[in-house]
Structure 1
Amino acid sequence: MGTSFIVVICIFILDQTVKWWVVTHIPLHQAQPLVPGLVEWFHIQNTGAGWGLFAGQMLLFQLVTLAMVLYIGRLIYLNRYRTGTLHLTLGLLLGGTLGNFADRLRLGYVVDMFHLQFFDFPVFNIADAALTVGVIGLILLVLTNKEMDGFI
């Protein structure tokens, strides 16, 4: 259980720190190179999900996010005596969820900043990346049945 919360805290702090830096250093809708030809900083305010889906549906996002925070927190608690990758995965999921939830509550939108230049993909942030890696990790755990006996 400790591993999950360490991951949650690290993801949340890193996510919010990078978002603060972007807001204070990169004008809205402006790009700056990060790794030329691969990824650039691109400051946007996202009121929806990826690719602008459900834009402006803040109450929906807040309710779904609150439900996910409670559910993932419950999973961490119920599996508190387990060790290994499950706690890392759940920590990534909860940290990413809380990072974007903080933006939605505080700002009414999510700050996104990473734009892949080689692939048509939505601009994203660290919380989004943590969520993506967490979902992939959870899928792999379920598919390989590794650490999943008795998982609730």
Structure 2
Amino acid sequence: MQTPPHSRPAPLWFPLLLAAALIAADQALKAWALAHLTYGADAIPVIPGLLDWQLTFNTGAAWSLFSGSARPLAALRLIVGLGILAYLWKRPQTWFLTTVLALIAAGAIGNTIDGLTNPRGVVDMIHSPALSAVTRALNGSIFPIFNIADMCVVGGTLLLLGSSLLPERKAQPPTQEDGSGA
């Protein structure tokens, strides 16, 4: 019986290439933000009401949790990111799981670089007024300013959680009717 395409393992190079591309995009946008945006300045609308540029720094984790802990968090992020990539190298997974885990690893490593190299912390520059409107309605706060690495971690985690709620797809054995059975 042939393995269905969705359950074949991804090649070993795929998570490394995907993570490297996402880390490069994250670092390029952060370099652009540092060169062209001013910390403390008003947001610059890109898509009015949906997307703004606004430079800020975070020495903690998401939503500024553990503020002032840039170095310990960078070490933890590095262990997580490299650990995920090592796991995928040692135990290849399906394309979906490989992609999701590579997203999380890329985000962890992207923010690690800032935590180790930028004394002001992780560089954040993407602000969404639309998301802030939702969080203000729910709890009165604005949605945090974020970066590509944050999107990778959150997106990968949500995909992983969402997929865990779906029923597992099992390969169907061939039947007599399709001519591939015994």
Question: Residue 63 in 1 paired to residue 109 in 2?
Answer: no
**2:15 and 2:85 in contact (8 A); partners too:** no
Structure 1 SS opposite 2:146: coil
Shift of 1:49: 1.8
**Cα gap change, 1:92/1:146 in structure 2, threshold over 3 Å: closer, same or farther?**
farther
What is the total number of aligned residue pairs between the two structures? 146
The residue number in structure 2 matching 1:28 is: 39
After superposition, the CA RMSD in angstroms is 1.7
Q: Where does structure 2 lack aligned partners over 5 or more consecutive residues?
A: 1-11, 133-141, 170-182
**Mean alpha-carbon deviation: is it higher for 95-104 or for 114-123?**
114-123
Task: Flag the 1:146–1:124 CA change in 2: closer, same or farther, 3 A.
Answer: farther
Show CA shifts across 1:87-106 (max 9, x none). 11111011111110001111
Structure 1 portions without partners, runs of 5+ = 148-152
Name the counterpart of 1:150. Answer: none
Partner residue in 2 for 1:139: 161
Give, in whole Å, the separation in 1 of the partners of 2:13 and 2:28: 22
TM-score scaled by length of structure 2: 0.74
Identity of counterpart residues, as a percentage?
A: 32
1:50 maps to which residue? Answer: 62
Give the deviation of 1:52 after TM superposition. 2.0
Partner AA of 2:63 in structure 1: W
Secondary structure of the 1:27 match is coil
In structure 2, what residue type is equivalent to 1:144? Answer: L
Question: 2 CA distance for matches of 1:90 and 1:78?
Answer: 14
Q: Distance in 2 between matches of 1:146 and 1:4?
A: 23
Displacement of 1:142 after TM fit?
Answer: 2.5
User: Contact 2:30/2:123 (CA < 8 Å) preserved in 1?
Assistant: yes
Q: Which one is further off, 48-57 or 37-46?
A: 48-57
**Shift in Å at residue 58 of structure 1?**
2.1
Q: Per-residue deviation at 1:145? A: 5.6
